Structure 1
Amino acid sequence: MIVLDALGPNGEYRTRTREVINDMAGTPVAELSIVPPLYVHRSIRAQHNARPLSTAQRAIALAGAAEVFGTAMIGGLGFEQYVEMVSRTSGLPMAVARSSARGVAESVRCAVDAVTPAQPVGAARDWRDERTRRGSAVWTRRGEVLAVHASGNSPGVHGSWAQALALGYRVAIRPSRREPFTGHRLVNALRQAGFRPEDAVYLPTGHAGAAEIITAADLAIVYGGQDIVDKYAGDPTVMANGPGRTKILITAEQDWRDYLDVIVESISGQGGMACTNATAVLYEGDPRPLSEAVAARLATIAPLPITDERAILPTKPLGAARRLADYLAVKARGATPLLGADQVVADLGDGSAALRPALHLLERPDGDQLNTELAFPCVWISPWSRADGVAPLRHSLVINAITGDEDLIDDLLSDPTVSNVYSGGHLTSYAAPDIPHDGFLADFLMRNKGVIRD
């Protein structure tokens, strides 16, 4: 059994209360120390009492942490052993887990540069900048401690909070019990590379402790469903990351056949588990031929054990997979199944099941079904007309509008519920440092203050 201890301001902390972490087949693989709310409170208080390292020290330590994360033996696991544990406990295909983990290392390496696109051109980073002698904005932190309630669907969620360290925050991580390995590995790597224990803490905890982390920190990032988004909608100190409901729109003057590869990969890439995977495709015309072509491609993806390097589909425990398929069957009532809920569960014979792709054809762009996002390649395809407007496209993290209609792109960019707008032969999952995900993280972490001095 792998033991994952809490990592507090005074080092490792092994608690009496522990939780067993099982893989997708139900095999116990790790024990996770669960800390009480009082330990959470004291840890974050210690973080508040620590001043940040210098900008130069943070940059050097982040570069070193990226190297340690990707190469070192940490907690008894080499990088490949760590990737295997992530795959087995999260259900991510092995190759996807490895790619995502490497992405975390790269995000940590580039964290200092990654915050630059969010910094206003007219603002200084430090009040000592000569511009402040004649008056200038200074880009400064909104607080000192950031809490992160990490999700367990992919290691990638841990790449972004390194930007907070680059900006001088101290960070408190509450890992997902579904995949607690990445946070543990990254916090250890940061400490080995030069960050102090109080700069980044790892606090596995229950519901009461989770609430305490948010209360004790200045700002927090949380992940979850629409219920989480609604819960924190009125709290300016909490950034809630909810469903992506990512979509592709193809207008009539475009030949969808030219974009078939982009459509299929946007649906099935990363195991279909990311918020940037396409949940819906809308077409201005008869969507049946498009649906049949996409279904034919998705149907060729073979269900394989999660540790198989060729695996593309995610896995779940068999019982959970069946419950998911039952839920899909209810949501799909009235739709035409080209790849229906009845074929989703592929029993792998070891207590786990791979999730085959699902595709349903809708008669109209029904908002409830178009926005039903599930953590495997599951897509809804619908007709769309100009009379429908942008209403069926709202509440989307990414929309790829494959169109020559510039007014339509203007409308999408103007809609406050649409985060990112791509157009053309680009995957909905495309990411780059200069492109915000759901806004730049630094938009949430930083503010401008006016400074003038002699």
Structure 2
Amino acid sequence: MLHLDVLGPTGPYRSRKQKTIHDVTGTPVASLSLAPRVYVTRALHAMRQTETLPTDERVTAIARAGTAFATATVAGLSAEEYQRTVSAVSGMPIATVRSATAAIAHAADRADHSAQQARPLGAVTDWHDPLTRTGRAVWIRRGEVFAVHAAGNHPAVHQAWLDALALGYRVAVRPSRREPFTPYRLVTALRDAGFRDDQVVLLPTDHDAADEIVRQADRSLVYGGDDVMRKYADHPTVLPQGPGRSKILLTADTDWTLALDTIIDSISSGGGVGCVNATAVLVEGDPAPVAEAIAARLAQLPSLPPHDERAILPVFSTEAARLLETHLQARAEGTTSVLGGNGNVDELGDGSAVLRPSVHQVDSPFSDQIGVELGFPCVWIAPWSRDAGIAPLRGTLVLTAITTDEQMLDDLVAEPTISNVHIGHHPTSWMEPGLPHDGYLGEFLMRSKTVLR
């Protein structure tokens, strides 16, 4: 059993209240300390009193931590041991975890560059800059303490808050109980690299104390479902991150058969668990051949345990897999099943099960189903017409538009509720540090003020 302590402002803290973390077969793997509410309050107060590392020191420390995170022994685990633990507990294929490890290290190395991409062109980073002698905008933090209620669906979500650390925020991370190993390792690596204990902390908590973290922080990033989006929709200091509902649009002026690799990659890369994985494909013309071709390709993906090097699909406990299957069947009522209609659960015989891909065809681009996002490759194929316009494409994190229609592309890029547009054969899952995900985090964390001296 591993022991994951609270990493507080005065060092590790092992609380009396513990949460046992199991792998997908039900085997206990770790004991996670849960910080009580009073501890959270005191921790964030201590963070508010401390100073921020100078820019050069923190940028260097973040990059050094990223290298250690990906290659060294951190918190008693080698990189390989960490990756196998995450794979066993989360059910993500080991290859996906390795890819996420490399992505976090890359993001750490580029954290300062990434954070600075959000800075307005006319602003400087320090009031001592000579340009302020004639008046200049200076980019400053909106606060000092940044909190993260992290998601557990993919390790790579922990790239995001490195920007806040690079910008000088002190950061408090509340890990997901589903997968606390990545933030535990990353926070430990950052401390080993030069950040003080009161500058970056890990605060596992129950739900009551979790709300206290948001109340005490100046700015917060909160991951969750539609309930989280509704809860914080009007909260000015909270940036909620919900389902991505990423989509692909295929118009009649293109050959969709040439896009099949892009479509499959969009749906299934990383196990299909991310907000950037495509959950709907809208087809101008007859969607049936597209649905059948997608189903034929996805049906070939093997059912394997997560530690297998050839694994692609996510694995859950059998109980959790059955619950997801039941939920999908209820939501798919009235649609045409092309793949997975007889069930998606493929038991591995050890208490775990693979959730196999699902392809359903719906009758309209306005069907409620195309907004249903699940944590495995599940895609809805819908007809689309010019009369429908861009309305069915709204509320999309990433849209891959395979079209030659320049006016359509103008409209899609201009649409405020579509966060990212990939034009042509680029999967929805493509990302790069320095480019906005759901806007730049720096837009939420920073502001400009005029300084004249």
What displacement does 1:431 show? Answer: 0.8
Conservation of the 8 A alpha-carbon contact between 2:292 and 2:338: yes
Inter-partner Cα distance in structure 2 for 1:63 and 1:16: 35
Tell me the residue number matched to 1:311: 311
Inter-partner Cα distance in structure 2 for 1:359 and 1:244: 18
Inter-partner Cα distance in structure 2 for 1:72 and 1:452: 47
What displacement does 1:319 show? Answer: 1.1
**Residue 136 (structure 2) pairs with residue 144 (structure 1):** no
What displacement does 1:318 show? Answer: 0.4
Tell me the residue number matched to 2:11: 11
What displacement does 1:363 show? Answer: 1.7
Inter-partner Cα distance in structure 2 for 1:427 and 1:99: 16
What displacement does 1:237 show? Answer: 0.4
Q: Helix, strand or coil: the match of 1:388?
A: coil
Aligned ranges for residues 327-342 of structure 1 at < 5 Å?
327-342=327-342
Aligned ranges for residues 166-205 of structure 1 at < 5 Å?
166-205=166-205
Conservation of the 8 A alpha-carbon contact between 1:338 and 1:360: yes
**What residue ranges of structure 2 are gaps of 5+ in the alignment?**
none
Tell me the residue number matched to 1:258: 258
Tell me the residue number matched to 1:67: 67
Tell me the residue number matched to 1:102: 102
Tell me the residue number matched to 1:284: 284
Inter-partner Cα distance in structure 2 for 1:54 and 1:27: 44
Which moved further from structure 2: 212-221 or 360-369?
360-369
Tell me the residue number matched to 2:227: 227
Which moved further from structure 2: 164-173 or 359-368?
359-368
Counterpart code for 1:246: S
Tell me the residue number matched to 2:154: 154
- Runs (4+) of structure 1 exceeding 3 A deviation are none
Q: Please give the per-residue CA displacement for 1:87-138, whole angstroms capped at 9, x wherever unaligned.
A: 1111211110111122111111210111122111100011111111100110
Counterpart code for 1:339: L
What displacement does 1:28 show? Answer: 0.4
Counterpart code for 1:278: A
What displacement does 1:331 show? Answer: 0.9
Conservation of the 8 A alpha-carbon contact between 1:87 and 1:93: yes
Conservation of the 8 A alpha-carbon contact between 1:325 and 1:341: no
The alignment of Structure 1 onto Structure 2 pairs a total of residues equal to: 453
What displacement does 1:341 show? Answer: 4.1
What displacement does 1:76 show? Answer: 2.1
Conservation of the 8 A alpha-carbon contact between 1:152 and 1:180: yes
What displacement does 1:21 show? Answer: 0.3
**What residue ranges of structure 1 are gaps of 5+ in the alignment?**
none
Counterpart code for 1:372: V
Q: Please give the per-residue CA displacement for 1:171-229, whole angstroms capped at 9, x wherever unaligned.
A: 00100000000111011100110111111001111111101100111000000001101
Inter-partner Cα distance in structure 1 for 2:316 and 2:432: 30
Inter-partner Cα distance in structure 1 for 2:56 and 2:117: 19
Normalization by structure 2: what TM-score?
A: 0.99
Tell me the residue number matched to 1:89: 89
Tell me the residue number matched to 2:58: 58
Counterpart code for 1:299: A
What displacement does 1:74 show? Answer: 2.1
Counterpart code for 2:280: A
Aligned ranges for residues 199-218 of structure 1 at < 5 Å?
199-218=199-218
What displacement does 1:412 show? Answer: 1.6
Conservation of the 8 A alpha-carbon contact between 1:4 and 1:75: no
Which moved further from structure 2: 39-48 or 334-343?
334-343
Conservation of the 8 A alpha-carbon contact between 1:40 and 1:209: yes
What displacement does 1:308 show? Answer: 0.5
